[in-house]
Amino acid sequence: MKNLHIIVEGSSEETFVNDIMVSHFGALNIFVSARKIRTGWDSVNSKPAKGGLLKYVKFKNDVLRWIESDKGRANTFYTSFIDLYAFPKDAESPYTAEIRNISDHYQRITALEAAIAQNINHPHFIPYVQLHEFEAFLLVDPDRLVTMYPDEQQSINKLKKDIGNIKPEEINENKRTAPSKRIIKYLHDYEGQKAQVGPLVAGDIGLTMLRSRCPHFNEWITKLENL
């Protein structure tokens, strides 16, 4: 049995891991657990505040905190599930101007993940950054959105026309045309339902199709399968 701990950006990723990845990797004798990035302290509810990635150091500290808490436990590995969209660009972030200026999406994400790996500097940490955000999964097969929005087929058709032949992982990180922004443009209710609807639709599409249409995601899953 191997243990795989996944630091996730938000509720969508956490639910996806628990609903889809846990069972997939369980069959491979890999026990998966996920938790959202600790971002501070919720003084109102007297508990840690979690979710979101506004500052890179919050992510880094949480990864290192989890590694330290395990105190070198055997057969334990760590990874991330965070978006390239709005990835921190502060002075402490490894997402340097040089990396940001790489035009090819896949070369840029490879360079960023290598920089994160170097920054975290732990042999059992495997960084993964999603191109460009979780909603890329939904755009693998937008017609599956009709299960959640049965009266919106016309809007879904407009979404499909908007996407055209762009590959899901190559739909960009512009504030108006990123995957989630395109969905919200045609399905306004999605904005307030992302954490619930997103993982359900991604799960309906299924891991096999997601992997076939999202090569960077598939590379990550393959690495984890071969731990």
Strand 129-130 to 38-42 pairing: unpaired
CA-based torsion, 220, 225, 226, 227: positive or negative: positive
| Statement: the pTM of the whole predicted model exceeds 0.75 | yes
pLDDT digits (tens, 9 = 90+) for 90-143: 999 999 999 999 999 999 999 999 999 999 999 999 999 999 999 999 999 999
pLDDT digits (tens, 9 = 90+) for 160-179: 999 999 999 999 999 999 99
Which residues are CB-neighbours of 175 under 8 A, at least 6 positions away? 181
Q: Measure the CA–CA gap between 204 and 189, rounded to whole angstroms.
A: 19
Per-residue confidence (pLDDT) for residue 45, from 0 to 100: 45
Q: Is residue 65 scored above 90 in pLDDT?
A: yes
H or E element at residue 115: helix 105-120
